[in-house]
Chain A
Amino acid sequence: AQSVTQLDSQVPVFEEAPVELRCNYSSSVSVYLFWYVQYPNQGLQLLLKYLSGSTLVESINGFEAEFNKSQTSFHLRKPSVHISDTAEYFCAVSVTLRGSQGNLIFGKGTKLSVKP
């Protein structure tokens, strides 16, 4: 069975500091990888995705994540955070198998709190 582990449930950080949110997954088959962000009382917004190709993927607002197959990780990083980045971040995998369609497997989430 596939699973996603986000090791940190809460990450407090000061504004303009760098941050890394960790994500590890377990799967015996190939997966696609995603990071989603959720602001209070809202749905999930797709932040970035890894489907194939370059293992380093970037978002338009400065986040990046690197797919590491040997370590089965997909950590999210940002070199300098803003107050507006305060939100909950979810790592998710999609298994590329018939019968598994539509089922994103999520981690428990990491609450990023950016302090001035």
Chain B
Amino acid sequence: KAGVTQTPRYLIKTRGQQVTLSCSPISGHRSVSWYQQTPGQGLQFLFEYFSETQRNKGNFPGRFSGRQFSNSRSEMNVSTLELGDSALYLCASSWTGIHEQYFGPGTRLTVT
């Protein structure tokens, strides 16, 4: 089975711009979660989607949004980028959302 894929792998953006990251889950998985990883804050949960519905959301500003399509692929969007948004963004998929999650390789976002 193919693993979780994320595109693009690397991205450089300028402050004020917006960005869209994409995630394709493992076939059959309906839950997709997004995390932000930074050296200072570690791994922080952004949100989770299941069958195109957001079921859970972390403590991030409204600039961070996401969606899930009928084929379970998911996108996250960050608008009005700030320097502090520079991070590794990880997507993970799961059967249920409460059991084990399988992670993609991440998208490294650098905001200049």
Q: B101 at interface (Cβ–Cβ under 8 A)?
A: yes
Chain B: minimal CB distance from A25 (Å): 15
Q: Work out how many contacts link A and B, with CB atoms closer than 8 A.
A: 74
Across the interface, B106 reaches (CB within 8 A) one of A43, A46, A95, A102, namely A43
For B, the interface residue count at a CB cutoff of 8 angstroms equals 30
- Whether B55 contacts A109 by the Cβ 8 Å rule is no
Chain A: minimal CB distance from B55 (Å): 5
Q: B72 at interface (Cβ–Cβ under 8 A)?
A: no
Other A-B pairs, 20, CB within 8 Å; known A95-B98, A104-B35? A32-B99, A34-B100, A42-B105, A43-B103, A43-B104, A43-B105, A49-B99, A90-B43, A94-B98, A99-B55, A99-B56, A101-B96, A102-B33, A102-B55, A102-B98, A103-B58, A104-B33, A104-B45, A104-B101, A105-B45
